[in-house]
Amino acid sequence: AQSVTQPDIHITVSEGASLELRCNYSYGATPYLFWYVQSPGQGLQLLLKYFSGDTLVQGIKGFEAEFKRSQSSFNLRKPSVHWSDAAEYFCAVPTNFGNEKLTFGTGTRLTIIP
């Protein structure tokens, strides 16, 4: 079965510093991959997605992610974080081929310190 692992439960980063959130997946074929962000008490917003092609994908809010097939990873990066980036971040893969039902990781909570 498809699965997603986010090894880091909580990460603290200083404002202005760079960020990398890890995501490893298990998937039977070439995966679609997603990163979502969730602010406290809110729903999920899509940051970026990988379907095919260029393995470095750009998303909203200055985020990017790189698909590495050899490492089964899809890590999220941002060169310089802002206090407003504090949130929960979820990596996801489709559970089945043919619809948009998703399997999510357990999330990484990002704290930004001044």
Q: Please report how close the Cβ of residue 14 comes to other proteins at its closest, in angstroms.
A: 24
Report how far apart the first and last C-alpha atoms of the chain are (Å, whole number): 41
Asked if residue 8 binds other proteins (CB under 8 A), the reply is: no
- Chain-centre distance of CA 55, in angstroms? 14
What whole-number distance in Å separates Cα of residue 47 and Cα of residue 91?
A: 10
Helix then strand count (H, E) for the chain reads 0, 12
| Site pattern 15..54 for other proteins (x: CB under 8 A) | -----------------x-x-x----xxxxxx--x-x---
Q: E strand or H helix at 1, and its extent?
A: none
Do you know the residue count of the chain?
A: 114
Closer CB to other proteins, residue 39 or residue 71? 39
- Within 80-99, the residues that bind other proteins by CB under 8 A are 90, 92, 94-95, 99
- The residues that touch other proteins, with contacts defined as CB under 8 A, are 4, 32, 34, 36, 41-46, 49, 51, 90, 92, 94-95, 99-107
